[in-house]
Amino acid sequence: MAEHLGTADAGLAAVFERAFAPLEQAVEAKRIPGGVLGIIDLKHGRMTRALGSAQIMPDQRPMTLDTWFDLASLTKVIFTTTRILKLVDDGVVDLDAPVATLLPDFRQYHADAWERKITFRQCLGHQTPFPGVEPIYTYDRDPDLLRAFILQREWRAGPPVYSDINFILLGFVLERLAKVRTVRELDPGAGFAWSSDPQVTVATEDCAFRHRVICGDVHDENCYALQGSGHAGLFGTVASVLDFAQGLLDGTGASEQAIRLMRTPLSNKRTHGWEHPFDGWWGGSLCSGDTIGHTGFTGTSLLIDFERGRAVTLLTNRVHPTRHFDSGILTLRQTVCDLFNQP
């Protein structure tokens, strides 16, 4: 076990101990191989602790505070949302304009297609008719062809659900504006990367699609096939995630307008890019109403409570060596967050 007390006072240390206990129990019960818990409070400091294994097959490596994680859908909030809202600050993106204004070839052969009418705000809030899950990687392995496929396909429409396609499109916008082939050519931000050294990275799944244990390369199949996208692919450590959270809490990480939009609800579950509290939320029931958060499929999460000036991140490898196992991640997240926020 590795531990870093930082500048945390005794009160925050006590909060950390009670929030860390469920993670310790989950690792001891072999529900997850390992994890890192990190908390930050603007008034009382920060603490982090690592536990268990970063990899258990084919080799075994311990989890440390310097271990890198595939952050999965935390990419949506740490990278893509932040970049899109910066473009809003700069007057390049109008949130209520159709995404097709910056992707003019989107469904270009059908001028009246519903896809051409969806807006940046709808994509950020997952308020579009796109399907929730689509195995794009099964259609081809050429990233340019897959981009064309996504842009020209007649998508089946349904009720608004959480859909990676929203953020894949936002990633395309970032690529077009920067004149790069893939978002992997863009700066991922301080402390983050688009891949990492397998020797210092959490292993994810023993992948049937790629015939190997994934480590240091993105777990998400669609992101892998696109060779970079706006919905997944970011790697980071507990320190980099906490630094990002601190930037939002103290106002140094984004503009006042951008942070306000991140905190502004668009539906009963979502803000611009983020989630906010709702019944049964993975973030528990004890956070303040001025809280945002997000999860990543690989077993990551970040919760930021602006009213209390604090944040908690739980980083695990719950899909290692397989996603087809009940790791209890929802209950673990809820319990950790409630113990963190318990009066």
pLDDT one-digit tens code per residue, 35-74: 999 999 999 999 999 999 999 999 999 999 999 999 999 9
Query: Which helix (DSSP H) or strand (DSSP E) does residue 245 occupy?
Result: helix 238-250
Write the pLDDT tens digit of every residue in 6-20: 667 888 999 999 999
Res 2: pLDDT: 56
Residue with tokens 């740490």: 78
Select from 180, 314, 184 the least CA-distant residue to 245: 314
- Return the exposure string of 83-119: e unless at least 16 CB atoms fall within 10 Å of the residue's CB, then b: bbbebbeeeebebeebbbebbeebbeeeeeeebbebb
Q: CA–CA separation, 85 vs 81, rounded Å?
A: 6
Rounded to an integer, the average pLDDT of 131-148 is 96
Q: What is the largest CA-CA distance in the chain?
A: 63
Residue type, 331: T
Whose tokens are 């060596």? That residue is: 321
Burial 309-336 (b: 16+ CB within 10 A, else e): ebbbbbbbbbbbbebeeebbbeebbbbb
Mention every residue, 6+ apart, whose C-beta is less than 8 A from residue 17: none
Render pLDDT for 74-132 as a digit per residue (tens, 0 to 9). Answer: 999 999 999 999 999 999 999 999 999 999 999 999 999 999 999 999 999 999 999 99
Tokens of 342: 């318990």
Stretch 150-156: mean pLDDT, rounded?
97
Cα–Cα distance for residue pair 105/288, rounded to 1 Å: 43
